[in-house]
Amino acid sequence: MTDYMIPLNDKSAPLYEQIYRFIKEEIRKGRLGARTKLPSTRHLSESLGVSRSTVQLAYDQLVAEGYVEAKPYRGYFAAEIDVLLHMEPSVGKLPVHRALEFPSEEDAEPIESGMPDVDFSLRGIDLDHFPFNTWRKLSREILTMDNRELFSNGKPQGQRELREEIRAYLQSARLVECRAEQIVIGAGSEYLLMLLDQILGKGAIAMETPTYRQAYRVLSALGHPILPVPMDRNGMDPERLQASGANIAYIMPSHQFPTGIVMPVRRRQELITWAAASPERFLIEDDYDSEFRYRGKPVPALYGSDLTGSVIYLGTFSKSVAPAIRVSYMVLPEPLLAVYRERCGFYTSTVSRVDQEILTRFLRDGYFERHLNRMRGVYRMKHDLLLDLLGPFRADFRIQGELAGLHLLLESRKNTSEEELIARAWEAGVRVYGLSEYLIPAATLPKKCFPPESRTILLGYAGLSADQIRDGAERLKRAWGIW
Structural domain range at position 317: 148-366
Give the mean pLDDT of the chain: 85
Q: Domain total for the chain? A: 2
CA 202, chain centre distance (Å) = 25
Taking the CA atoms of residue 88, residue 90, residue 15 and residue 416 in that order, the dihedral angle to the nearest 10 degrees is 170
Same domain, 72 and 177: no
Give 174-192 pLDDT, tens digit per residue.
999 999 999 999 998 999 9
- 205 pLDDT more than 50: yes
Give 99-148 pLDDT, tens digit per residue.
344 334 444 333 334 578 999 999 888 888 888 999 999 998 888 877 77
At 344, is the pLDDT very low, low, confident or very high (cuts 50, 70, 90)?
A: very high
Give exposure, 455-464, as e/b (b: 16+ Cβ within 10 Å).
bbbbbbbbbb
Residue 44 belongs to domain with CATH number? 1.10.10.10
Establish if 438 belongs to a structural domain.
Answer: no
- 206 pLDDT more than 50: yes
Establish if 249 belongs to a structural domain.
Answer: yes
**pLDDT above 90 as % of the chain:** 51
Pick the last residue of a domain from 331, 351, 366: 366
Least confident window among 4-18, 310-324, 330-344, 456-470: 4-18
Establish if 189 belongs to a structural domain.
Answer: yes
Same domain, 27 and 158: no
Pick the last residue of a domain from 44, 64, 89: 89
- 475 pLDDT more than 90: yes
Tell me what pLDDT residue 114 has: 57
Give 53-76 pLDDT, tens digit per residue.
888 888 888 876 667 888 887 889
Give 228-282 pLDDT, tens digit per residue.
998 898 899 999 999 999 999 999 998 899 998 888 888 999 999 999 999 999 9
Peptide bond into 210 cis (omega under 30): yes
Tell me what pLDDT residue 14 has: 85
- Tallying the residues shown for the chain, one arrives at 483
Pick the last residue of a domain from 89, 110, 139: 89
- 83 pLDDT more than 50: no
pTM of the model: 0.74
* Secondary structure percentages of the chain, helix, strand, coil, to 5: 40, 15, 45
Same domain, 222 and 310: yes
Tell me what pLDDT residue 343 has: 94
Establish if 167 belongs to a structural domain.
Answer: yes
Residue 318 belongs to domain with CATH number? 3.40.640.10
